[in-house]
Amino acid sequence: MSDTVMADGIEVAQEPDAEIPILFLHGVERTYRQGDEALHILNGAELAIWPGQSVALVAPSGAGKSTLLHIAGLLEHPDHGDVFIDGRATAILPDAERTRIRRNEIGFVYQSHHLLPEFTALENVLLPQMIAGLTRSEAKKRAVELLSYLGLSDRLTHRPAELSGGEQQRVAIARAVANAPRILLADEPTGNLDLHTADHVFAALTQLVRASGLATIIATHNMELASRMDRRVTLREGLVVELE
Ligand code: ADP
């Protein structure tokens, strides 16, 4: 529950835990072995993100963006270090609890949409909510709201193959936030789109992020898109480095 405080005569909602980052990567290390060679991809990376903050992760291919996002999203374990979600250490948690946190708190968008081809746009957004325990009618209400918000109200019954690339990605974004996560991780979500469509999808994504107070990391190669986020970071020698 939020407290309400008066600041200079203006009433503002104050989140009790706003001092705590919603996502905190602490001393994260990840090394891959290829034959005799050790690839030190993350070397003690630190990254803290607060609720409502949008962060662009801009780094060359192979720098470790996907690795960082997988670790942040509890899909992969770091070799050392930890990932704190809302102040809670996750490394020592059992897999079932990590999965529960991932399902409830974290949404993912990938470069390819990964929508289920035999289901409609509406069904693709409805299913994760029903898996999480909502009734079909509750899930449908939210799915219609989200898809309409993303400009897809006349595409609800289209299957992925009947949608354009930009529309497919907007459905994938709606699906990623269907269960109202608090963190959205996107790995080059506009990487497969032409510049104009990428711009449109990115605008929809950032508008949704702002409206919902999500914290988000978006890996992108596009500096122009990155410039519209709250912060820009890169990876240098396995560390997260703030840009500007
Ligand atoms: P990016 O997303 O920035 O392109 P990745 O995180 O996908 O980078 O990969 C970083 C580096 O780690 C790459 O050189 C990649 O080949 C290597 N890598 C990623 N995953 C594995 C793996 N499972 N085994 C071995 N090497 C890997």
Given a contact cutoff of 8 angstroms between Cβ atoms, the answer to whether 241 and 64 are in contact is: no
Tell how far the Cα of 48 is from the centroid of ligand 1, in angstroms. 22
Question: Over the stretch 92-125, which tens digit does the pLDDT of each residue have?
Answer: 999 999 999 999 999 999 999 899 999 999 999 9
Task: Say if strands 80-85 and 88-89 run parallel, antiparallel, or are unpaired.
Answer: antiparallel
Ligand 1 in reach of 59 Cβ (< 6 A): yes
Provide mean pLDDT across the span 189-201: 91
Distances (CA, A) of 175 to 113, 129, 171, 195: 10, 9, 6, 23
Which positions ≥6 away from 2 have C-beta within 8 Å?
A: 13, 14, 15, 16
Cα 184 to Cα 5, 72, 86, 147, 180: the distances in Å are: 28, 10, 14, 17, 10
Reading the block at residue 92, the tokens are 């020592």
How far is the C-alpha of 228 from the C-alpha of 196, rounded, in Å? 16
**pLDDT in the model for residue 222:** 87
72 lines ligand 1 (CB under 6 A): no
Distance 67 CA to ligand 1 centre (A): 7
Asked whether the predicted pLDDT for residue 18 surpasses 80, the reply is: no
Q: State the average pLDDT for the chain.
A: 91
DSSP 8-state secondary structure symbol assigned to residue 160: G
Average pLDDT over residues 15-36: 87
Cα dist. 237→55, 83, 105, 240 in Å? Answer: 19, 20, 29, 9
Question: Ligand 1: which of 25, 36, 39 to mutate, most ligand atoms within 8 Å of CB?
Answer: 39
Compare 212 and 43 and report the one with higher pLDDT: 43
Report the alpha-carbon distance of residue 75 to residue 107 in Å, rounded. 12
Q: Which amino acid is at 35?
A: G
pTM of the model: 0.90
Question: Which one has a higher pLDDT value, 2 or 164?
Answer: 164
- Take atom 26 of ligand 1 and give the residue whose Cα is closest: 32
Residues in the chain: 244
In the predicted model, is pLDDT for residue 51 greater than 90?
yes
The pLDDT of residue 19 is above 90: no
94 Cα–ligand 1 center, Å: 25
Residue 39 Cβ inside 6 Å of ligand 1? The answer reads: yes
Reply yes or no on whether the pLDDT at 210 is more than 80.
Answer: yes
Ligand 1 atom 15: residue of nearest CA: 62
Residue 60 near residue 220, CB atoms below 8 Å: no
Q: What residue has token string 């519209």?
A: 228
Local confidence band at 188 (pLDDT 50, 70, 90 cut-offs): very high
Q: What is the mean pLDDT of residues 34-40?
A: 92
Confidence grade of residue 17 (pLDDT, cut at 50, 70, 90): low
